[in-house]
Amino acid sequence: MLLGVVFFLFAFAEKRNSTRILSDVNLHFTNNENLYLTEEAVNKLLIQNEVRVKSIGKEALDLNRVETLLEAHEMVENAEVFLTVDGKLGAEITQRKPLARVLASAPFYLDRHGFKMPLSEYYSARVPLVTGVREDQLKEVYPLMDFITKDEFLTRHVTGLHRLPNGKYQIHLRQLDFVLMFGEVKDIELKFKNFKAFYQKALKDKKLDAYEKVDLQFGDQVVCTKK
C-alpha cells in the first residue's frame, strides 16, 4: 500500500507539472541596459506571434521558437530563453550596441559588429556622427570607428567622422578648432599614436589653438597648418 501511495503521488505531481500554465515572463537585460527595447515591446512581440505565455502549458511552449523570435528583433543581439521550475518563462536579452550614428536620408546606427542598426523610438545614443558614408561603405568605416570606440582618449575627443568623395576621412574633435585629416582607413594605430604625441606636445606648449589643420597622412610625421 505504501508503494502504491508513493507511485500515485509521483504520477500526480508529474501530471500537474506537465500541465502547469505559464504564469509570468521574467526579462533580464544584460548590463542592466534596456535602452533600445522595453519589456512592453518584448511582450507585444510575443503576443503578435501568438506566444501567449499565460495560456500555454509548459510542454506546449517551444523555447527555441521564442528565442528565434526575440533574436529576429532588430534591436536584439542575442537572447537566451529558459523555463524555471515554478512555471515562469525567463529571457536574458543582450541588445545591440551602436558605435556611431550615420547621417543619411534615413539615419541609422553602425553597431559594434559593423552592421546597420535602426534608430530606436525609446532612446537616442550619444555616439559620434558619421557623414558622407553610404550603407555599402560601412565595412570601410567600421575599423576606424571600432578603434576609436575602444580607445579612452579618442572616445573622449572624437565627435564625428566625414568621408570625402576621394575616400579619405576627416575627424571632428570636441572643443578643438582644427580639422584633423586622417586620410584613408589604413595604418590606424600608427596615425593615432602620432596624433596623441602631437596633442600632448601642443597642449604642453599651449598651441592647440594655433592650427587650422592637422594632417596624419605622412607616415611618422604630423603635418600642421597654422591659422
- CB contact at 8 A, 158 and 148: yes
For residue 142, the 8-state DSSP code is: H
Distance CA 91, CA 118 (A): 23
- CB contact at 8 A, 219 and 191: no
pLDDT by position in tens, the chain (length 227): 555 544 444 444 444 443 343 445 677 888 777 788 888 888 777 777 766 554 445 554 677 888 888 888 899 999 988 877 776 778 889 999 999 999 998 999 999 999 999 999 889 999 999 999 999 999 999 999 999 999 999 999 999 999 999 999 999 999 888 999 999 999 999 999 999 999 999 999 999 999 999 999 998 899 999 98
Pairing state between β 129-131 and 158-163: parallel
Q: Where in the chain is the domain with CATH 3.40.50.11690?
A: 98-226
CATH number of 98-226: 1.10.580.10, 3.40.50.11690, 3.40.1390.30, 3.40.50.720?
3.40.50.11690
User: Looking at residue 196, what is its pLDDT?
Assistant: 96
SS3 of 190, please?
Answer: helix
Cβ burial 58-82 (10 Å sphere, 16+ → b, else e): beebeeeebbebbeebebbbebebe
Q: Where in the chain is the domain with CATH 3.10.20.310?
A: 21-95
Distance CA 222, CA 164 (A): 20
Neighbours of 142 (CB within 10 A): 19
Distance CA 168, CA 5 (A): 80
Superfamily (CATH) of domain 21-95:
membrane protein fhac (3.10.20.310)
